[in-house]
Amino acid sequence: MILRVSRYRPGVDAEPVFQDYEVPDRDDWAILDALNHIKDTVDGTLSFRWSCRMGICGSCGMTVNGEPKLTCGTFLTDFTGPVTVEPLRGFAVIRDLVVDIDPFLANLSKVTPWLVREGEEPASEFAQTPEQLEAYKQYSMCINCMLCYSACPVYVLNPDFLGPAAIALAQRYNLDSRDMGDRFDVLSSEEGVWGCTFVGECTSACPKHVDPAEAIQRYKLTAALRSVLPFSRRRS
């Protein structure tokens, strides 16, 4: 199997160039295994991120044959011909397949991504019913892989757009019965939910079924209600 890998070495390449590598076409190899084979036995200078190899850490996202994918969950058997591997689109390339994640982390931090509490804490454990857990659980499954940002045409054109995962993360806390925060100002700003044109590619790309498109559309309704009924409930 041929892997056509995008290379960009600062100080060497003026712009990214493709380099072909031949790898064993093994049934049990993910794209990440093939990249590690290249790094270990063919070309130790190839740079890419990974950690868990099991769809948990979110660090191995790349563009595989034009689509944002977790390379540890995308197998050589999914392809018949040469496979093109590029960095995630929508982010500045630092080297080879490694992109700059700082803008993404900055967007996540804008939504106050923690439980906000006011007043006295409960004296004992803060229990939740299964229904209260279910209300936000889906959004808590995000692994910050950035595939949804890479798939989102709005974010690629406007890096100021808060983006799918950050809005889903805000909803993870908005819908948590323990949270008392209010993220209305940031979510309803120009760079918030109203920037979304509901293309829906974020949800298609998400490997953890978080459904960020649903989170965004749901908060649009909340924001619209809040603008006409300023004292309406924060949660919905």
Q: Residue 53 Cβ, how far from ligand FES at the closest point, in Å?
A: 5
Say if residues 179 and 111 touch (Cβ distance below 8 Å).
no
Q: Interface with ligand SF4 includes 208 (CB under 6 A)? A: yes
Stretch that binds ligand SF4, among 17-25, 162-170, 187-195, 223-231 (CB under 6 A): 162-170
Q: Which does 101 bind (CB under 5 to 8 A by kind): ligand SF4, ligand FES, none?
A: none
Helix (H) or strand (E) holding 214: helix 212-228
The residue within the footprint of ligand SF4, chosen from 101, 165, 213, 216 (CB under 6 A), is 165
Stretch that binds ligand SF4, among 37-45, 79-87, 121-129, 137-145 (CB under 6 A): 137-145
Q: List the alpha helices (DSSP H) in 50-200.
A: 102-109, 130-137, 147-151, 153-157, 164-174, 184-187
Q: Residue 98 Cβ, how far from ligand SF4 at the closest point, in Å?
A: 17
User: Which residue, 20, 57, 19, 53, is CA-closest to 36?
Assistant: 53
Say if residues 230 and 176 touch (Cβ distance below 8 Å).
no
Q: What angle do CA 171, 176, 177 make, to 5 degrees?
A: 145
Say if residues 100 and 87 touch (Cβ distance below 8 Å).
no
Stretch that binds ligand FES, among 51-59, 147-155, 179-187, 190-198 (CB under 6 A): 51-59
Size of the site for ligand FES (CB under 6 A): 12
- Where along the sequence are the contacts to ligand FES (CB under 6 A)? 50-53, 55-60, 70, 72
